[in-house]
Amino acid sequence: MRYVVRALLFAPILCVATAFAHDALPDSNRRVVNTEMVARVEVWLSLLTEQQHTLACFSFKSDERLNWHFIPRERLGLPLKAMNLQQRRAAYALLQTGLSHQGYLKATTIMSLESVLRELETDRPDNEDRRDPEKYWFSVFGTPSETEPWGWRLEGHHVSINFSSVSGAVAAATPLFLGASPAEIRTGPRAGQRVLASEEDMARKLIVSLQDNHAKKSVISSDAPDEVLTVPDASLDLGVPQGVSEKEMTPVQQVMFRRLIEQIIRTLRGELADDVLTEISENEWKELSFAWAGSFEQGRGHYYRIQGPSFIIEYDNTQNEANHAHIVWHSLENNFGLDALRRHYESQHGQPQASVNKKN
């Protein structure tokens, strides 16, 4: 999906390492987190050279803010490779403001898998830098602020982490993408390590349970797709939810289903995850559906989808003989904070709704 932000009522601004004076704001999780993010990003920016600052910073309305992907490619922003030790420490400190301890470990471990891939891909030239754990880019969009919209991103192969703040509060943490190749390291000193093990194992336990009472409905295909469907530039509209809704599950299955969703959402730091989970109403929980495709056996291709009125989560593990996992979480209306932005400009600036659009 490609998003376009049009005619925002402020001139392009570049991020600056300056604190903002502000009146006391209501104490909420999202405001507290935004305040901490502003402080950490300002520390990081203050350590950059002028040239690095130019590479790292974009205007908030830049199309680059919406230009996400998870493939190994060159990106805009400032890569870890170009940072000294002090700058890297500050960048990682910023990352910790958005992720939980388990989320931070997942992201950094995924980055380290590039070294494993380099060893496994023996047919590549020795001087090729396509697999490099330092090729992960930090970018800041707009001026870090406790009043105006701004955002930041960490992105590289198999990692796309996007935070958007509006009106002094973190408004969105999606799209959020994590991948693991190999999904399970099978040789060497790290043999047995599975970065996304819980996301796979908890879902498999649920689908096996659903065979007792929803064998046909829970499995939408005997073959898993080669990739998650909601890749960049693709529509988020996957039609009517398939599979089994929570209201159709037994109480035990409902507990398993909710724990799986919570496991994924708790990639975010606790305060943000708590808010996201609280915002899922009981009616929405009942409407959330779970669908599976492919084999139930570990090591064979499989896929699952969690779909509801406000968000969609997809997991796929089919590539490289089912040893290459992808998981993505989208807000159906508020990826990159676009719905929050629309409401912000309507209420604060009198800007019509049509000025902030999304394009499938």
What confidence score (pLDDT) does residue 10 get? 30
pLDDT-derived band at 11 (thresholds 50, 70, 90) equals very low
CA distances from 239 to 147, 219, 236 (A): 37, 16, 9
Question: What three-state secondary structure class fits 140?
Answer: strand
pLDDT-derived band at 25 (thresholds 50, 70, 90) equals very low
**Is 289 found in the same domain as 141?**
no
**Is 121 found in the same domain as 89?**
yes
**Is 286 found in the same domain as 164?**
no
Burial of 149 (0-12, 13-18, 19+ CB in 10 A): buried
The answer to whether the CB of 157 falls within 8 A of the CB of 72 is yes
Q: Please say if the pLDDT value at position 22 is more than 60.
A: no
**Is 347 found in the same domain as 309?**
no
Tens digits of residue pLDDT in 210-262: 999 999 999 999 999 999 999 999 999 999 999 999 999 999 999 999 999 99
Tens digits of residue pLDDT in 308-356: 999 999 999 999 999 999 999 999 999 999 998 988 777 765 555 444 4
Share the mean pLDDT of the chain: 90
Q: Please say if the pLDDT value at position 57 is more than 60.
A: yes
pTM for the whole thing? 0.90
Give CA–CA dist 347/324, Å, rounded. 45
**Is 350 found in the same domain as 319?**
no
Tens digits of residue pLDDT in 102-117: 999 999 999 999 999 9
pLDDT-derived band at 87 (thresholds 50, 70, 90) equals very high
For the chain, what is the domain count? 2
Q: Please say if the pLDDT value at position 300 is more than 60.
A: yes
What confidence score (pLDDT) does residue 360 get? 35
> Is 130 within the bounds of a domain?
yes
The CB-side HSE value for 111 (13 A sphere, CA atoms) comes to 21
Q: Please say if the pLDDT value at position 143 is more than 80.
A: yes
**Is 263 found in the same domain as 165?**
no
First to last CA, the chain: 5
The Cβ of residue 177 has, within 10 Å, a number of other Cβ atoms equal to 24
Tens digits of residue pLDDT in 165-210: 999 999 999 999 999 999 999 999 999 999 999 999 999 999 999 9
**Is 161 found in the same domain as 19?**
yes
Q: What domain range is 313 assigned to?
A: 197-333
What confidence score (pLDDT) does residue 239 get? 95
**Is 349 found in the same domain as 309?**
no
